[in-house]
Amino acid sequence: MFVSNTGLFVLITGCCIISTVHTQITEETPPAFTEETRPCGGVLNEARGYLQTPGFPDKFQVPIKCKWIIDASLQPFNSTIVVYLTQLFVTTGLKFTESLFYDPELSYSLGQKFGEKLLHSVTEKNCRSTSWLKTDAKFLIVDFELDQLEGNHLRSLDGLLDVYGFNITYEARSDSSDPVREPTCSVVDCSYEGHCYAADNFTEFYCDCFPGFEGNDCSQGPLCNLENNMCMNNSTCRHLGATTTYCSCPSGYKGSRCDVLTSMKQILPDCKISNTESCTPQCSYKLNQAPCSCPQGFTKAPTDRMRYQNTIKLGSSSGGRGDLPKIHPNRTFTAQFERQV
């Protein structure tokens, strides 16, 4: 036997040469999870907590399939599970199922369950109108499954163009007289111009507004200032996103600008509304003013005259400009009509 310079042991026996090579085997370290590939799901048995997609609010890898079990069996007997959809950006793939029983020892995945009932399934129609869920069952199963990111998220200029997934909170409440905390908030409650957050102790919720917006619901922004405010009759201008506004009308008014009177008692307290007599308000104006310009309010219409409401609809003429008088060859049909009226 001899030892070579390479560390190879060679054993010579008769006519045969047997060699033995010693190698060092190292165990490979598995790759670390990144934020977007971190596993999601699990059993949640604390009285309060949160559920979120990997790397929220950034993108996550798809397809994705997650399952959470909210377990309230260790909480007081009369506890209610409440889920607050504070930052829900997905419009599909999220499902909530209440269950009477759950046993992790009999599980093929996260436990076998029975007595199941679908509580809520997120869709494009209800993702804007539902801000919380409640169940008296001891277990709430939350399933999330999504094949692609595109087309499955809420989008709004300018702050909600690059947010993904969800970050929602839950708690097991034992106060039967007040099972849901109020007020709560959501993406819509924050006018699409702020993020809804829960306080550290989960006892209150608030909107954190994007730059340029303010108010409890982030509805006050640049299009609702004094120069751009289109709302009338002491109504309140509110943002719904960066480019859309609406008017919140006071009692007695309606319409997109709160310019339509619905209750004459708001303007004419001397009008008597009964089966036999009534009165109609009309716009007060002078000869040098435009008709129906009512910045100063209304006056009582005369009762000795007949009033009619007329509607005129304009449509395109097949003859075009050829039907217009020859003396006005450059005048459009609309301009000619307005002049005649």
Q: Which residues contact 66 (CB under 8 A, 6 or more apart)?
A: 40, 41, 53, 142, 143, 144, 145
The residue extents of the domains of the chain are 42-209, 219-270
Output the pTM of the full model: 0.66
Residue-wise pLDDT tens digits, 135-157: 999 999 999 999 999 999 999 98
Note the pLDDT of residue 61. Answer: 96
Note the pLDDT of residue 172. Answer: 93
Note the pLDDT of residue 66. Answer: 97
Segments in the chain below pLDDT 70: 1-38, 104-114, 176, 263-309, 314-341
Note the pLDDT of residue 317. Answer: 53
Tokens standing for 42? 């699990």
Note the pLDDT of residue 13. Answer: 41
From the candidate CATH numbers 2.40.40.20, 3.20.20.70, 2.60.120.290, 1.25.40.10, the one assigned to the domain spanning 42-209: 2.60.120.290
Note the pLDDT of residue 39. Answer: 76
Residue-wise pLDDT tens digits, 1-44: 444 444 444 444 444 433 444 444 444 544 444 555 567 999 99
From the candidate CATH numbers 3.40.50.2300, 1.10.3720.10, 3.50.50.60, 2.10.25.10, the one assigned to the domain spanning 219-270: 2.10.25.10
